[in-house]
Structure 1
Amino acid sequence: MTVLGDRVQKEELLHLHMLFIHVRKYYETITNEEIPTERYNTLHISPVHIHKNKKAHKEAILVLGEEIVDHIGRKPAMLSFSHDMSTPSEIAVEN
């Protein structure tokens, strides 16, 4: 079964869809750059479109997720690594 298999309830899909929207907005806020979401935009669906069917929301989640990951994947890593390995909590810090 995939993450978005048939057993997933519509309400759960709506929550996941909204979460992806929040992830996109958060990334755009902290980086001051827009994530291009042309494919997602052509679907004409958002998490508030509760009248749309599960299949439409599944597709929107997968497309939006792919566009977010593709955009972030093209950017340099946002983690820096400490040369001092004496304190494990300081091994990786977010810039």
Structure 2
Amino acid sequence: MQTEDYEIDRKDLELWWGLSYASFLVMPRVAMQLMPEEWQEKMAELLNQYDEAINTDAFGVKGCRVQAIGENGKLMTMPDEWKNYRHPSRETKAAIKKPDGE
């Protein structure tokens, strides 16, 4: 997360939402599975801790849905590249991963 004037240290979870009114953080599975094995293991451990501590069924919620929003702010069909986590193409992987140093 960067601003024009400085780079923010992301150790504070609140910074991931910035000034938005977002209530959820969504991370595409296909992108997470492109991360190094060590990262995936750490993330799995954190998700297990979260699952042990948080009752996500509270208030009658049994699940959530994610919808894609285009550059114009309107709903759009989720691109197949984001949905195909089992067999992403080389082109999809290249498009998702940022070059080193960013």
Q: Please say which structure displays the higher CA radius of gyration.
A: 1
Q: Same fold (TM over 0.5)?
A: no
After TM superposition, the score normalised by the length of structure 2 is 0.25
After TM superposition, the score normalised by the length of structure 1 is 0.26
